[in-house]
Homo-oligomer: A and B are copies of this chain.
């Protein structure tokens, strides 16, 4: 298989959260000519820890596209060291978020830039460029928009408390987004969408990664009114998330962990849904519920870097064939 020549001069916008989204975006990045991919990244996970502005999903996408990512964890930096964190322990400071030594440079530069009035968009561009990334990584917003998780056992939690501190074990009763009435998207995001020939929603958590990404004013509406195809890669395989709490969360929020639920969640936003071959049998149910939606069943599990490009190629070729 080879990438359809059609895509060689086309621009693609990918919407991504953390690890899964970053892997698929990396596949696209490897296939497409320099500059033709824009990854719009969730900032709902962003938080301030020890006075540092941390943007976990932006960092995961950036490190992954730059080839710096730790391939085992998916987040963080390859061959990372933890000496600052070890010293924090000696100081008896409760540090529950993983702050690696190399990674700290990213947080320090970002924090310093924000304090000096630089936008998250400009800082991200500067950092990505220094790491040699030739595509574009954009935060969904330069404003604060924080995912808040209401839980049965532990009350109201900031996203990273829920995700890292409590290892997504508490039962979620609802998800809200602080700042959703005021957060705007950016002109860079709108320009990328205006120039795009296709939009892809990466295999990220629909409720915790894509939902906050779409919250900034105008973003969801812009995609709903698109004249170009938009497809999503489902994060579920056999009713389970490859990584993270997607299926657990869906169940807790009374949404069966099925491909039909994913299609329903993205209804109005997507023209096609990519599911794993394991779930090919769910295709009929999805088609029955959403007759206009095209379905591709293919291998969606990305076990290595090669898999990322193969999946991206399948998705693009199929989109060209079926939706354009």
Chain B positions within 8 Å of A126 at CB level: 91
The CA-CA distance from A91 to B93 in the complex, in Å, is 29
Copy tally for this chain in the complex stands at 2
The CA-CA distance from A253 to B275 in the complex, in Å, is 77
In this assembly, does A10 line the interface, its C-beta being within 8 Å of a C-beta of chain B?
A: no
In this assembly, does A174 line the interface, its C-beta being within 8 Å of a C-beta of chain B?
A: no
For chain A, the count of residues having a C-beta within 8 Å of the partner chain is: 31
Given contacts A101-B101, A115-B51, contact A109 B84 (CB under 8 A): no
Chain B positions within 8 Å of A50 at CB level: 108-109, 111-112
Q: Are B91 and A127 in contact (CB under 8 A)?
A: yes
Q: Contact string, A48-64, partner B, CB cutoff 8 A, digits 1/0?
A: 00111000000000000
Smallest CB separation, A84 vs chain B (Å): 5
Q: Are A51 and B87 in contact (CB under 8 A)?
A: no
Q: Main secondary structure on chain A at its contact with chain B?
A: helix
In this assembly, does A267 line the interface, its C-beta being within 8 Å of a C-beta of chain B?
A: no
Q: Are A109 and B81 in contact (CB under 8 A)?
A: no
| CB-CB contacts below 8 Å: A53-89 with B | 77, 80-81, 83-88
The CA-CA distance from A183 to B83 in the complex, in Å, is 35
Q: Are B105 and A93 in contact (CB under 8 A)?
A: yes
Of the listed residues A93, A103, A126, the one surrounded by the most CB atoms of chain B closer than 10 A to its CB is A93
In this assembly, does A169 line the interface, its C-beta being within 8 Å of a C-beta of chain B?
A: no
In this assembly, does A92 line the interface, its C-beta being within 8 Å of a C-beta of chain B?
A: yes
Given contacts A81-B81, A92-B130, contact A87 B106 (CB under 8 A): yes
In this assembly, does A102 line the interface, its C-beta being within 8 Å of a C-beta of chain B?
A: yes
Q: Are A84 and B111 in contact (CB under 8 A)?
A: no
In the complex, what residue of chain B is closest to A102 when comparing beta carbons?
A: B87
In this assembly, does A104 line the interface, its C-beta being within 8 Å of a C-beta of chain B?
A: yes
Of the listed residues A51, A77, A87, A93, the one surrounded by the most CB atoms of chain B closer than 10 A to its CB is A87
The CA-CA distance from A77 to B127 in the complex, in Å, is 29
Q: Are A51 and B104 in contact (CB under 8 A)?
A: no
Given contacts A91-B127, A91-B130, A115-B51, contact A86 B108 (CB under 8 A): no
Chain B positions within 8 Å of A83 at CB level: 80-81, 83, 101-102
Chain B positions within 8 Å of A131 at CB level: 90-91
In the complex, what residue of chain B is closest to A111 when comparing beta carbons?
A: B51
Of the listed residues A51, A106, A109, A112, the one surrounded by the most CB atoms of chain B closer than 10 A to its CB is A51
Additional A-B contacts beyond A51-B112, A84-B101, A91-B105 (4; CB < 8 A): A50-B111, A83-B83, A87-B101, A101-B104
Interface residues of A (CB under 8 A from B): 50-52, 77, 80-81, 83-88, 90-93, 101-106, 108-109, 111-112, 115, 126-127, 130-131
10 shortest interchain CB distances as A-B pairs: A87-B105, A83-B101, A87-B102, A101-B101, A84-B104, A91-B130, A88-B105, A51-B112, A50-B108, A84-B105
